Amino acid sequence: MEDYFDDNDNLEVKLTSAKKEPRQESEGQLTIDVFQTEDDVVIQSTIAGVSDKDLDISVTNDMVTIKGARAPEQKIGPSNYYYQELYWGPFSRSIILPVDVDADNAKASIKNGILTIRLPKLDRIRTKKIKVS
């Protein structure tokens, strides 16, 4: 491993050479943001280089699983890399949701390499008034 410093010598960044330390992972894990709006739970992830045909998104009332694969456009032999930090190959991520959602009305879109999944919240905490007879 080699250490590099930014212009201000404040931030240390570690870079791994593909020649010295080959990747040991069999499957990559997506980084995600999960947040809520008034009506939806929203999941976002960077998936640049992945076609919508190469994605599989499964939704239940309390969990979302995103699976896919990212393939390089050109084949480059390991001995030709100076650095190899991008992840190529299969990836997945399962997210346990903080609230129940309406899986039947979930929607997903990709724009500028960002996957956005919108999951309508189920309104189960609705207060119902009843009359005493």
| pLDDT tens figures, 68-120 | 998 888 888 889 989 988 888 899 999 999 999 999 999 999 999 999 999 99
Question: Would you say residue 1 has pLDDT above 50?
Answer: no
Task: Identify whether the C-beta of residue 18 lies closer than 8 Å to the C-beta of residue 78.
Answer: yes
Mean pLDDT of the residues in the chain: 80
Task: Give the strands of the sheet with 114-120, arranged side by side.
Answer: 32-36, 40-46, 114-120, 107-111
Question: Would you say residue 59 has pLDDT above 70?
Answer: yes
d(CA 77, CA 81) in angstroms, rounded, equals 7
Domains detected in the chain: 25-120 (2.60.40.790)
Task: Identify whether the C-beta of residue 47 lies closer than 8 Å to the C-beta of residue 26.
Answer: no
In this prediction, residues 49-74 reach a mean pLDDT of: 90
The per-residue pLDDT for 119 is 96
